[in-house]
Amino acid sequence: MAFLRRLSIRSQLFILAGSFIIVILIIIFHSYSTMSGMITRNHEEYVKQTISEIQKNVTSNKDVIYRLMQNISYNEEVQNYLVEKNALLKYDMFKKLNKLFISQRELKEGILDIVLSGNNGQWVDLYGGNKYVSALRDAVPPKVNAYYSGVQRFGTLFGGEEGLVFATSIYYMKQGELFNTRVGTMFFIVDPKALVGEQDYSSKQTNTQIYLLDRDQKVITSNLQNVSVGTQLTGLPSGTSDGSDKALQWNNKLYVMQRQSLPDIDGSILSMAPKDELLRDLLDIRRQELLILAICLLILAIPFMFIINNILRPLKKMMFFMTTVKRGDLLKFKKRISLQGYMEISIMASELNSMLDEIDQLTQRLIETNTRLYGIELEKKKSELAFLRSQINPHFLYNTLEAITGIAVVNKQNQIKTMTRALSSIFRYSIKGTGMVPLSEELGIIKSFVSIQQIRFKDRFSVDYECTEEALAYRVPKMILQPLVENAVYHGFEPRLKHGLLEIRGFVDEQGSLVVRIVDDGMGIDPVRLTELRALLAAPPSALAEEDEEQRSIGLVNVNNRIRLMFGEACGMRVESTLGSGTAIELTIAGRRELNA
């Protein structure tokens, strides 16, 4: 500060103006940095969500292919054909196998051909795919289900050039000398689009490129129209697929890359977003702000110079007068005295007041300018926040579902009407209200969920509800029963074809605790698996993250942990099951507790 005091007033005013400009620049660049990070994080979340959807689709479609392969591989007619030596019998079996293949192909859209290749040189295909895949038989590992063999060119055989090949080894299952001997190989030729689905994963705002790659870095599918199936991507770094963003120079352009492994096909999902496209709008805003700042500074330079002169001129006059007095000029000395009470002092006081007025006006002008700039920044951030909030509008989803319901009613599509109305209720229920609801409300959502599943499974199961009035009034955590009912439907009823019964019972025991029993007569649980599940339920909540291999039970464990954390270790879940006879799950929740969501 002593250094500043030694400077002239003009220099100090210029330092103040320079500091003001630096502060504004810091604000502009800080805003740019903040918004840049926000945009980057939003893009990362979008890519993660997209990659997650692709992973789910690939896993689901591969599971369907695996189940179809198993249905064919262990079909009795297929097993007999692969070991039969009589030519006449093999011809009769050949016709039956063609019918079997056609019926299985119709169960999954996108299967282009099914090829059965025997070790004895015999083969069966639907549309001539054997000559393209027979050479791949020796490369199929033993004891591997739905092994992804890679991208194969088929010319014009299926209306296109490329297709995906999945294979599995077939082992003879009948008792005898050939038992558990590899007798052939099953090939499925699949349209690449059937592996991912028909969703649109493009992003027009950032031009994000998404590739589904196999183990050889060949493109299986992409959101780019000009990238064909089987294209080899070169120049990309190899390494672990951790799903985090990385900067990458590729094809003479800077990209933000994100890679995620895809164990189902020993491949990966790759997203590439041009960094200049990602921050293009933000760069334009920054350039406009700097241009506006430069124009404002040029405009303010002229009044700033005038203000400096108005401040310094009276001071120079005073310094000149004091110098003159110092020289001993008596006339000036009298005028100095006159400054204390005559006309000269009034003029000096008027000039001093004028100078102070100018300084006050300058200060007010600076405050108003600063306030206006902050106001503009605040309004801009409000607009950005409103834009981000508007990207996910529950009312839009509700209105869309209601519109679909209305269309279904007009077209007399009662199943669509029922499913959309039920889905709308579930969505509204899951995101609104508190975290604790009466059991009656929870059962209402369960009924909506069951109605959707009954339509999906064509009434392959029925549900019986029996809850006491006292139990219905108990408050339970929201969405606590849905995972259990879903587990019963998918693991109890889906694997089998006969009709099933799901029972939901609710009552209050002698200790005043709510007991809810969910019983199904489905497939049941293997004893070994049941022992592992009970161990998971008995483990502390923190141990869940360590059980990566137990993904099938994550919903049950989460429900159990929620109850234990909210109501104590004495509460929770018990599971009883007999393989082939069904499963019973019993929830125990302590007496009424009013909990905030």
Q: Region 558-586: what's the mean pLDDT?
A: 88
Distances in Å between the Cα of 152 and the Cα atoms of 135, 217, 265, 375, 460 are 11, 14, 15, 61, 40
Bridge partners (DSSP) listed for residue 182: 171
- The alpha carbon of residue 276 and the mean position of all alpha carbons in its chain are separated, in whole angstroms, by 23
pLDDT number for residue 567 = 85
For 482, the 3-state DSSP assignment is: helix
| Phi/psi-derived region of residue 467, left when phi > 0, alpha when psi is between -120 and 50, beta in every other case | beta
Is the pLDDT at 458 greater than 90? The verdict is no
**13-22, 250-259, 262-271 — which is least confidently predicted?**
250-259
Average pLDDT over residues 555-574: 85
pLDDT beyond 70 at 468:
yes
pLDDT of residue 385: 43
Question: pTM here?
Answer: 0.43
Residues 306, 254: Cα–Cα separation, whole Å: 49
Q: Which two tokens stand for residue 258?
A: 């994100």
- Residue 506 scores a pLDDT above 90: yes
Residue 383 has pLDDT above 50, yes or no: no
**Residue 331 predicted with pLDDT over 50:** no
Asked if residue 525 has pLDDT above 80, the reply is: yes
The pLDDT tens digits of the residues spanning 162-180 come to 788 889 888 888 887 888 8
CATH class of the structural domain 459-589: alpha beta
Instruction: Give me the pLDDT at residue 434, please.
Output: 66
pLDDT at 280: 67
What per-residue confidence (pLDDT) applies to 183? 85
Cα–Cα dist 83/93, whole Å:
11
Least confident of 53-67, 113-127, 332-346, 449-463: 332-346
> Domain locations in the chain?
1-278, 281-390, 459-589
CA 413 from chain center: how many Å? 32
Which residues are bridge partners to 507 per DSSP?
Answer: 515
The domain 1-278 is placed in CATH, from the list 1.10.3720.10, 3.30.450.220, 2.130.10.10, 2.120.10.60, at 3.30.450.220
**Centroid of chain to Cα 405:** 27
Average pLDDT over residues 68-96: 84
Q: Which residue has the tokens 């007009």?
A: 410
Confidence of residue 594 (pLDDT cuts 50, 70, 90): very low
Which range has the top average pLDDT, 149-153, 487-491, 555-559?
487-491
Assign 126 a pLDDT band (cuts: 50, 70, 90).
Answer: confident
